[in-house]
Chain A
Amino acid sequence: MTLTERTMTASELRSRAAERRELCAQIKEMLVERLDLPIDADWITDDQPLFGRGLELDSVDALELAVGIDDVADVTITDDQVGMFGSVNRVVDFVETHRNGPFSASSTLL
């Protein structure tokens, strides 16, 4: 398989990135609303750390976040999936992997 056969075109990459941005934005909005965070969701980057150094969430917030993701995405988080709280992007990875069917830009988590 040639390199161009293995990779997307720029147009395809833009389309996929737009879908991903939409899902990240929805996760950020959920974080801010559910946890009542004093921050503009647009200021949160996709790679923003959530616990400790980043948004400085704690274990209580983790529980609320897990419940929130379960509510809006029908995805259950277990204790051994601690890595998914590493960043907004990690949460999105988890949701995309565990949701029924691929994410579409027309769907909504909220």
Chain B
Amino acid sequence: MMDDHSHFGAMFPPETVFQTIGDSTVPWRFSTLDEEYGALRSSTALFDLSGCGLVSVDGPDAEDVVGRLFTREVEFLTPETSSMGLLLDAHGRPIDIVTVFRTESGFLVETSVGRATSTIAHIEREAAGRVAVRDARSTTAMLGFEGPLAWELAEAVIDDPITGLPFQGVRPVTIGGTDALVSRTGFTGEYGFKVMFPSRHAGTVWAKAAAQSVPAGHETLETAMTEFRQPILHRDAGNDELSVIGIGANWLVDLEKADFLGRDSLLAERDAGADELPVCFVSDSDGLRVGTELGAHGEVLGHVVHVVFSPGLGTQCGIARLHVDVASSGLVFEVLGTSATVSTVSSPILIPASWGQLMSSRSG
């Protein structure tokens, strides 16, 4: 089965494994986790990001509308920069993690994987007809290049130099003579670039990029995001209710911003204090699942909310929600009912390879 929204599906090998996440079916694995993850951590992985929605919000009131919904300031956002933050409902609950880009006519909102439909509905509902909201997925394709050598792939695919493009920077470029947009953003902590271009060129661009990288599925993406402690809304709450504080996404919310939808509720939630907080862990054995109870000497002190196998660590790692008085890095908990343990660790669970490497002088 291929994703209705993917423009690259015709290029995928027949053995591709797919998974449905929210409103999208995404390529989960093209070859093996080891191969794809290895490329991400050592050279360059190529990601089909069609599962992320691209939503244009246009009109004279666009800044007012997006500014009211986004948890960070957009007033000073320029076409050369982007910003990652949250959209909340009136109860302060996360609707989506989005990246916002300024455009000539308003804003482009990149949604999380599988959340385009619900995010578009949220924006339309809250905007109440004041702006034009358009799902741009049908006409725009998006790829991600991530890895310590991602800049080499970006330079090979993009016609223009990307010299000096800073983190979260955005630049209009051409790809094969066609207008495109590149942003230096990513999900895994490795050097990352996203390229957006007209979907009619999807096959050509994929072929060129895939010839110089390793296509990687969302299994690799989510594994690396977990290791990097990049929030994944459809995973990080496990079976619990989704909340900003509950998934540790405070850093995506600027509480100094005077007003945004959900702010008052979030302040009340903060003031009330949390019973449990998220903490990263590494396991000494396999077999952990969402909901696995953790504790000490038989006493339940928390549970697993998200767990992956990390090829980089050779074991399972993830996120647990622990009682607030033991929610700390550097502790060892029993996996209740077994002889196994987990150790709580600091974020990022695994340091990205790119942190120890400079990009070439050409890319700055």
Interface residues of A (CB under 8 A from B): 3-4, 6-10, 12-14, 16-18, 20-21, 38-40, 43-49, 52-55, 80, 82-83, 86-87, 89-90, 92-93, 96
Q: Are B297 and A10 neighbours in the complex by a CB distance under 8 Å?
A: yes
Partner of A10, one of B253, B255, B296: B296
B238 lies within 8 A of chain A by Cβ: no
Residues from 46 to 91 in B contacting A, C-beta threshold 8 Å: 84
**How many A-B contacts at CB < 8 Å in the complex?**
109
CB distance from A40 to the nearest CB of B (A): 7
Binary CB contact string for chain B from 343 to 354 against chain A (1 if under 8 A, 0 otherwise): 000111001000
Assembly CA distance A26 to B229 (angstroms)? 22
- Selected from A16, A48, A90, the residue in CB contact (under 8 A) with B251 is A48
A53–B229 alpha-carbon span in the complex (Å): 11
| A45/B248 contact (C-beta < 8 A), A10-B326, A82-B355 known | yes
**Residues of A with C-beta under 8 A to B346:** 46-47, 86-87, 89-90, 92-93
Contact check, A86 vs B347: say whether CB atoms are below 8 A apart: yes
Distance in angstroms between the alpha carbons of A80 and B355 in the assembled complex: 10
Of the candidates B167, B230, B327, B332, which one forms a contact with A7 in the assembled complex, judged by CB atoms under 8 Å apart? B332
Rounded to whole angstroms, the CA-CA distance of A20 and B250 in the bound complex is 20
Q: Which residues of B contact A46 (CB under 8 A)?
A: 328-329, 346
Q: Is the pair B347, A16 in contact by a Cβ cutoff of 8 Å?
A: no
Q: Which of A17, A38, A39, A54 contacts B331 (CB 8 A)?
A: A17
CB distance from B99 to the nearest CB of A (A): 10
Partner of A53, one of B251, B296, B329: B251
Contacts of B333 in A (CB 8 A): 7, 13
One digit per residue, 1 when the CB lies within 8 angstroms of any chain A CB and 0 when it does not, for chain B 321-364 equals: 00001111111111000010100001110010001100000000
Interface centre among A17, A47, A82, A87 (most CB of B within 10 A): A47
Which B residues lie at the A interface, using CB under 8 A?
84, 167-168, 229-230, 248, 250-251, 253-256, 270, 277-280, 295-297, 299, 301, 325-334, 339, 341, 346-348, 351, 355-356
For the residues of B in contact with A, the DSSP-based class is loop
Write out the residue numbers on chain B whose beta carbons fall within 8 Å of the beta carbon of A10. 295-297, 299, 301, 326
A27 vs chain B, min Cβ distance (A): 12
Could you list 9 further interchain pairs (A-B, Cβ under 8 angstroms) beyond the known A53-B230, A89-B329?
A: A3-B341, A13-B301, A13-B333, A17-B331, A82-B355, A86-B348, A87-B347, A89-B346, A90-B348
Report the separation of the CA atoms of residues A8 and B333 in the bound assembly, to the nearest whole angstrom. 8
Would you call B331 and A13 a contact (CB within 8 A)? yes
Determine how close the nearest CB of chain B comes to the CB of A106; give it in whole angstroms: 18
Among B229, B254, B339, point to the contact of A87 (Cβ < 8 A). Answer: B229
How far, in Å, is A84 (CB) from chain B's closest CB? Answer: 9
* B329 engages A39 (CB within 8 Å): no
Partner of A54, one of B251, B295, B334, B351: B251
Instruction: Indicate the member of A16, A17, A90 with the most B CB atoms within 10 Å.
Output: A17
For residue A43, which residues in chain B have a CB less than 8 angstroms away from its CB?
250, 253, 255, 270
Closest residue to B339 on the A side, CB-wise?
A: A3
Given the interface pairs A6-B332, A13-B301, A16-B331, the reply to whether A89 lies near B347 with Cβ below 8 Å is: yes
Q: Which residues of B contact A13 (CB under 8 A)?
A: 296, 301, 326, 331, 333
Assess the B280–A20 pair: CB atoms within 8 A. no
Chain B residues with CB under 8 Å of A38's CB are 256
**A17 and B255 in contact, given A3-B341, A7-B334, A52-B167 (Cβ under 8 angstroms):** no
Partner of A9, one of B277, B297, B356: B297
Give 27 CB contacts A-B under 8 Å: A3-B341, A7-B297, A7-B332, A7-B334, A8-B331, A8-B332, A9-B296, A12-B296, A16-B328, A16-B331, A17-B326, A17-B328, A39-B254, A40-B255, A43-B250, A45-B248, A45-B251, A46-B329, A48-B250, A48-B251, A49-B348, A53-B84, A53-B251, A54-B251, A80-B356, A90-B346, A93-B330
